[in-house]
């Protein structure tokens, strides 16, 4: 049964002044998918971002306050800053593997988790491409090379990428 044959749904759409054709178009777009945005650099003041002066700021605060009762508000928390903390454990593991001290129990656990779950990481394909080899084989033979490819500046540089640019699902 087509969902648009449902009298209940059609009534709900009508109550909200929503055209069923708009919904069908949205569903088609979701099924078809969207081309990903090609991010080339961050937005900064005078290059994608406008810094408001005091008068402009006061004007927009006043407008917001006057419209507040008639609008719905939601909170948006962007992923900001570099991803250094996200990769802290892998950076520690990389440092431990580079030193002659060997791995402590925490780094051994991190290594085991990484090795056994590497196929689940969203950046797996990028990492494999960077290494130009089968990742499963490489991670078993030389984990330090894998960590270097993922974290180092001249490679994928995940430790310094803005969090918003890090792949988090496949």
pTM for this predicted structure: 0.53
CA distance 42 to 165: 10
Per-residue tens of pLDDT for the chain, all 170 residues: 577 778 888 888 889 898 989 988 988 888 888 888 888 888 889 988 899 999 999 999 999 999 888 888 877 666 666 667 788 999 999 999 998 787 888 989 999 999 999 988 889 999 999 999 888 888 888 999 999 999 999 999 998 887 778 887 76
| pLDDT value for 78 | 64
CA distance 105 to 111: 10
| pLDDT value for 80 | 61
CA distance 96 to 98: 5
CA distance 150 to 83: 12
| pLDDT value for 77 | 66
Cα dist from 33 to 2, 26, 29, 30, 88, whole Å: 21, 10, 6, 5, 34
| pLDDT value for 82 | 63
């Amino acid at each position: 049964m087509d969902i648009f044959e449902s009298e209940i749904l059609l009534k709900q759409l009508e109550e909200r002044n929503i055209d069923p054709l708009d919904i069908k178009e949205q569903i088609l777009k979701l099924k078809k998918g969207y081309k990903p945005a090609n991010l080339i650099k961050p937005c900064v003041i005078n290059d994608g971002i406008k810094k408001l002066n005091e008068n402009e700021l006061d004007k927009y605060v006043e407008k917001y306050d006057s419209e507040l009762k008639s609008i719905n508000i939601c909170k948006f928390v962007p992923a900001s800053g570099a991803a250094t903390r996200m990769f802290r454990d892998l950076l520690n593991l990389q440092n431990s593997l580079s030193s002659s001290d060997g791995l402590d129990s925490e780094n051994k656990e991190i290594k085991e988790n990484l090795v056994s779950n590497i196929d689940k990481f969203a950046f797996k394909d990028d990492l494999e491409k960077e290494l130009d080899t089968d990742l499963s084989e490489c991670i078993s033979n030389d984990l330090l090379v894998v960590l270097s490819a993922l974290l180092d500046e001249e490679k994928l540089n995940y430790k310094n990428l803005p969090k918003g640019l890090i792949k988090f699902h496949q």
